Amino acid sequence: DRRREAPAAGSPIQPIIKDVGEIYSRLLDHRPVIQGEIRYFVKEFEEKRGLRELRVLENLKNTIFETNDRVLPKCEQAMRDSLNETLKRLQAANGMMHRLQEKEYEARKLQADKVMAREEKCVAHWEEFMKEQRTQRAEVDEEHGKAMERLKEQYSEMEKELAKYVSF
């Protein structure tokens, strides 16, 4: 039932409420400060800078046109000249490398042919050696056979002679 009533002007709480309101507005309410800063920035930008940005942009535009009209063609021509010279040098180097590769290929082919010829010669020598070994083996086998026959004959004669002496 009791309604709140605004404190009377003579109330002791009134100065405290006023102090709290001031503290709030100083510490927590930043709108007046921000609005002041915005006004100051706009004033500085419009008054002090004037047409400086326009002049800077005009100078920049002139520099770009000068670059496009004078500097860029000179750079393009220098680049073309350098690239043509570089291309000629690269083609010459490529030709030299190709010739060197051909020489290297020929040298390797010659070396491979020599190795192949040596290998064929070694194979021929080996075949000849094996043929000689076969003929020598056949000769040795033949001599061995003859020797065996001689020994058989010799032993059979020896047995016959022994048989003569055993009968005594």
Average pLDDT along the chain: 85
Q: Is residue 15 part of a domain?
A: no
Q: Of 129, 100, 108, 105, whose CA–CA distance to 116 is shortest?
A: 108
- Does residue 8 lie within any of the structural domains? no
Confirm if 7 and 17 have CB atoms less than 8 A apart. Answer: yes
Total residues found in the chain within this entry: 168
pLDDT at 38: 83
What is the count of structural domains for the chain? 1
- Asked if residue 7 belongs to a domain, the reply is no
Residue 8 DSSP symbol: P
Which pLDDT band holds residue 49 (cuts at 50, 70, 90)?
Answer: low
- % of the chain exceeding 90 in pLDDT: 45
Q: Is residue 1 part of a domain?
A: no
Q: Which residues lie below 8 Å from residue 149, measured CB to CB, with a gap of 6+?
A: none
Task: Identify whether 152 is part of a domain.
Answer: yes
Condensed to tens digits (0 to 9), the pLDDT of residues 55-89 reads 777 888 899 888 888 888 888 888 988 899 999 99
Range of the domain at 107: 21-167
- Quick check: 17 and 24 in contact, CB under 8 A? no
pLDDT tens readout for residues 94-135: 999 999 999 999 999 999 999 999 999 999 999 999 999 999
DSSP string, 119-145: HHHHHHHHHHHHHHHHHHHHHHHHHHH
The answer to whether residue 139 is domain-embedded is yes
pTM higher than 0.85: no
Structure tokens at 155: 């032993």
Please compute the mean of the pLDDT values over residues 153-160 and round it to a whole number: 91
Residues 140 and 157: their CA atoms lie apart, in Å, by 25
For residue 11, the model assigns a pLDDT of 72
- Report yes or no on 68 lying in a domain: yes
Residue 53 falls inside a structural domain: yes
